[in-house]
Amino acid sequence: MSGVRPWTCPPRTVVFVTRVRQSFPSAWLVALVALVAWLPAAAAAPGATPVVVVDPGHDLRANLEQEPIGPGSSTLKIKDGGGTRGVVSGLTEAELNLRVGLRLRTLLRRAGVRVVMTRTTTSGTSMGNIARARIANRARAKLFLRIHADGLADRRARGTHTLYPALRRGWTDDVYAPSKRAAGLVQRELVRALGFPDRGLHERSDFTGFNWADVPVILVEMGFMTNPTDDRLLATAVYQRRAALGLCRGTLRFLGRPPALCG
Ligand SMILES: [Zn+2]
């Protein structure tokens, strides 16, 4: 609630200043009344409640249909290969992403952020990445936050990294800088919360969901489900909560709000 400041409202500032000079006890009363009168207006002001679109990656079934990787592109990619799976836990990536996403929704809502989910169940065929980006565009999201976990043939690979769109004129030039900033803030908080190795940030030019986004967008890879350590930990409620907390704190930093609101 960075906007809750009586002095941003000129008429009441005049009242406040005048009464301060007259007498202190009544000045405080007037200030209090002015603040209480101002609060509902602040809450209802357009733009007062930021929207974040939370996108838990994948779904129950892969989607092998193809779609262009960017507006007007002739390069096609499949909509969704289906994600990875826990090498020890057996948990699907789609389900892990959703569990963290739902926890994140709760934390962000408590912090005064409006949340739009791209999905709330793991029950269907994945909608593909243009559809996901369009949900974020339509919501005019302040951040389009995509939640994933990684998988590699090399089981030793572990740790957290965050991806953001590479700069390409006509596709991502409008969202490149804020996305990069968001990626840095969220990566730092996510690494702090999970305690996994920090694999840093990576630009991607080949992500359909990035190239179609007209709002700042990042994709977190929380850890590697093909690594026994990362997988075992991410499969627990404790670490899913930690991940959500880190994502919430990074998001609030990006929105210019106190991360302590996440709890
Ligand atoms: Zn994934």
- Ranges of each domain in the chain: 6-44, 51-262
CA of 203 to the centre of ligand 1 (A): 16
pLDDT in the model for residue 20:
38
- What is the assigned CATH class of domain 51-262? alpha beta
* Integer angstrom CA distances of residue 117 from 13, 18, 195, 196, 214: 40, 48, 26, 26, 17
pTM score: 0.82
- Nearest alpha-carbon partner for 151 in 89, 58, 83: 83
Report the relative pairing of strands 63-68 and 143-150 from DSSP bridges. Answer: unpaired
- Tokens linked to 147: 């939640």
- Ligand 1 centre and the CA of 5: distance in Å? 42
For residue 232, the CA-to-ligand 1 centroid distance in Å is 17
Ligand 1 center from residue 37 Cα (angstroms) = 47
Instruction: List, as ranges, residues with CB under 5 A of the ion ligand 1.
Output: 57, 83, 148
How remote is the CA of residue 24 from the centroid of ligand 1, in Å?
Answer: 60
Q: What are phi and psi of 162, to 5 degrees?
A: -130, 135
Low-confidence spans in the chain with pLDDT less than 70: 1-47
The confidence score (pLDDT) of residue 4 equals 38
How far, in Å, from the CA of 231 to the mean position of ligand 1?
Answer: 14
- pLDDT value of position 257: 97
Ligand 1 centroid to residue 58 C-alpha, Å: 6
Give the Å distance between the CA of 42 and the centre of ligand 1.
39
Per-residue model confidence (pLDDT) at position 32: 53
Other Cβ atoms closer than 10 A to 158: 21
Reading the block at residue 185, the tokens are 């803030």
Tokens 């892969």 correspond to 62
Instruction: State in Å: Cα 93 to ligand 1 middle.
Output: 7
User: DSSP assignment of 55-77, as one string?
Assistant: EE---SB-EEEEEESSTT---EE
Check residue 22 and give its pLDDT. 45
- If you measure from the C-alpha of residue 166 to the centroid of ligand 1, how many angstroms do you get, rounded to a whole number? 19
Ligand 1 centroid to Cα of residue 174, in Å, is: 25
Strand positions, DSSP E, 21-133: 51-56, 63-68, 76-80, 114-117
Q: State pLDDT tens for residues 177-197.
A: 999 999 999 999 999 999 999
Q: What is the pLDDT of residue 48?
A: 77
b/e code 85-120 from CB counts within 10 Å (16+ = b): bbbebebbbbbbbbbbbbbbbebbeebebebbbbbe
Q: How many separate helices (H) and strands (E) can be counted in the chain?
A: 8, 8
DSSP secondary structure letter of residue 6: G
Candidates 129, 132, 186; CA nearest to 160 is: 186
Cα 162 to ligand 1 centre (Å): 12
Q: What's the pLDDT score for residue 28?
A: 53
Q: Report CA(79)–ligand 1 centroid distance (Å).
A: 12
Q: How far, in Å, from the CA of 239 to the mean position of ligand 1?
A: 18
Which residue from 84, 114, 75, 93 is spatially nearest to 211, judged by alpha carbons?
A: 75
**DSSP SS3 for 85:** strand
Ligand 1 centroid to Cα of residue 170, in Å, is 26
CA of 225 from ligand 1 middle (Å) equals: 10
